[in-house]
Chain A
């Protein structure tokens, strides 16, 4: 689960990680009131969406007067912001964060993520703040400092020294501030089961203080049960409606832009099915994992969600029945076709336990638009042909 910048900064504040002051606004009036409350004579108006690259997309603007805050908030609120992380359809901006202007002397980068190879959290830092870190990693990998922290000992002095010397911070007071900053961020990461924290840029002010100018945080969904205060920050308007609806039924769904709807058990086989459709010259319309226990109800729900997509010209049901018997799934499919009006050809491949019985059931049902397939390759081929109207 991801949270907004303004929420991340609330979490930072709780842990004493310094940030500029700011207040979130849902309307232009609120934005103006917030700017007045913050005081000063320079403000930043920042679109709050769950995606990076907001600045380049025109979602972060500097205001030098209250009138300008009003004008910019009016422009940004309600705009559809397109960045390299939103996809071409962009995201609707429903909130803006009004933040006091900061005196930027230097821009750094700092993040905490899980290093899968080392199997421990890793703190990444760079002097190249404000840039896309993937570009830095590609072009100047030597400018990224990586410090893995073994949770059994926690954040120690040497971790801090590796960071500050790596970043070329020489001033004693600044070294101390940066070490504290990183140590608090690590604590926050561990205590909240964060998946990722990224601050880009982390700025040094003219007076030598470090501030988180931006903040991105993602959390381990499996651990949310023990962090109700984090879960309360969930913004469902940032999530895809169909994906959310699917998850209520234990289905994992992601819309794609092709023509063949897929319903598969297991994430790996679901991806493998999409790959096979592609290999056979077709295009997958979605990823849909019905999970380990495909019942008539989940299959019906799956059909319903797939068919909401107007681009779908055929559906490929690919189930490898293991513990769940194929004859049951076949009956489930038949029942589902009674519950939902399936108006496109459905290619069904059922393999595994009781597959011959399942084939018999589907054959005897004699439904016009159900086409049976013997294996994965055969099914994908038939689905591609059906989508082309062959």
Chain B
């Protein structure tokens, strides 16, 4: 078991033949992901990485039965691609593209929700079910199979957290990089209950950062619905006010969205909050040894 994706998941790649799409789709195939084809408008009928290329998502679904799309389309066209996937009946779109205009993503997300399509990202490393299915750009070898679910706004902190968990002798069930843009798809709120329901997952690591209030909402949800132990880290305790730290989401204004506020909210509902990401592995060991 795992959440959202596993070894049977059939995946297409939108933006398949571009340089990013080609490189990462190749890496996913090597990992064992069932990449069943790709979409590049105008290149339908070709073969790429030994997989068929289609002009439209609808054609790709008809021919391959894919349910998930990994999106590498450039920022100016990514909303269009995501809406096409939703329209065609894709169940989950994993949007890797960085630099998508916020207004475009707002529209694409609203359309995806209306069509019942889940989204992850944009501007994220993707999702991986350890040793089964990698849909994204994360280094596969870091994620050894195990019982810890991981949700993170940050890409490299996802790898850092997973690596520590594995070094402590545990492993990962599924890890999801949700991205830190102002508009994102699946977040703690949807993913925490999925991990709670997954029999394979025994503990959850959540990595957040300053800005927005998703972690505060997560704290409320943990109190009401989550019985499995949760370890959390919030990046940006030392970030200066009002400064932008790479992610568009990491903006603090006034007191709303500070690391301190989020850490306190999570601690108050029994989450094991660590002050440094270097402590994630140890904290997981601690909560799982209880």
Interface residues in chain A, defined as those with a beta carbon under 8 Å from any beta carbon in chain B: 85, 114, 116-117, 119-120, 134, 137-138, 150-152, 190, 193, 195, 220-223, 225-226, 252, 254, 256, 264-272, 274-280, 284, 287, 289, 320-323, 351-353, 375-377, 380
Contact = CB atoms under 8 A, between A and B. Distances in A.
A265 to B, nearest CB: 6
A220 B155 contact: no
Interface string B253-264: 111000100000
B219 to A, nearest CB: 14
Nearest to B100: A222
A267 B245 contact: yes
A243 to B, nearest CB: 10
Contacts of A376: 160, 276-278
A134 B253 CA distance: 9
Nearest to A321: B139
B11 interface: no
B88 interface: no
A117 B109 CA distance: 13
Contacts of B193: none
Nearest to A381: B278
25 contacts: A116-B182, A116-B212, A138-B255, A151-B107, A152-B107, A220-B102, A222-B75, A226-B76, A264-B156, A265-B156, A266-B154, A266-B157, A268-B152, A268-B207, A268-B209, A268-B247, A272-B276, A275-B259, A276-B277, A278-B238, A280-B276, A321-B139, A322-B156, A322-B159, A352-B139
B163 A320 contact: yes
B209 A271 contact: yes
B25 to A, nearest CB: 13
B142 A322 contact: yes
B213 interface: yes
B170 to A, nearest CB: 16
Nearest to A289: B246
Given A116-B183, A268-B156, A271-B250, A284 B110 contact: no
Contact of B276 (A120, A264, A266, A377): A377
B103 A269 contact: no
Interface stretch (B46-54, B197-205, B229-237): B229-237
B275 interface: yes
Contacts of A274: 238-239
Given A287-B245, A323-B139, A269 B239 contact: no
A269 B152 CA distance: 11
A267 B153 CA distance: 10
Contacts of B237: 275, 278
A285 to B, nearest CB: 11
B190 interface: no
Given A117-B213, A119-B109, A320-B159, 19 more contacts: A116-B214, A138-B255, A151-B107, A195-B102, A222-B99, A252-B245, A254-B244, A254-B245, A267-B245, A267-B250, A268-B155, A271-B250, A272-B157, A272-B160, A287-B245, A287-B246, A322-B139, A376-B277, A380-B278
A157 B277 CA distance: 49
B279 interface: yes
A35 to B, nearest CB: 34
B22 interface: no
Contacts of A280: 276
Contacts of B100: 222
A278 B276 CA distance: 9
Given A225-B76, A274-B239, A323-B139, A220 B101 contact: yes
Interface in B239-286: 239-240, 242-248, 250, 253-255, 259, 275-279
Contacts of B212: 116
A279 B155 contact: no
Given A267-B154, A272-B235, A352 B163 contact: yes
Nearest to A268: B154
Contacts of A256: 238, 240
A266 B103 contact: no
Contact of B159 (A151, A193, A352): A352
A265 B246 CA distance: 11
Nearest to A253: B246
B106 interface: yes
A268 B106 contact: no
A320 B110 contact: no
A322 B138 contact: yes
A353 B239 contact: no
Residue from B152, B153, B157, B278 having most chain A Cβ neighbours under 10 A? B278
A269 B156 contact: yes
Give 8 nearest A-B pairs by CB, closest first.
Answer: A268-B154, A267-B246, A266-B156, A377-B278, A322-B139, A223-B101, A269-B156, A271-B235
B165 interface: no
B233 A272 contact: yes
Contacts of A321: 139
B64 interface: no
A114 B102 CA distance: 9
A254 B240 contact: yes
B151 interface: no
A119 B240 contact: no
A389 B30 CA distance: 47
Contacts of B236: 271, 275
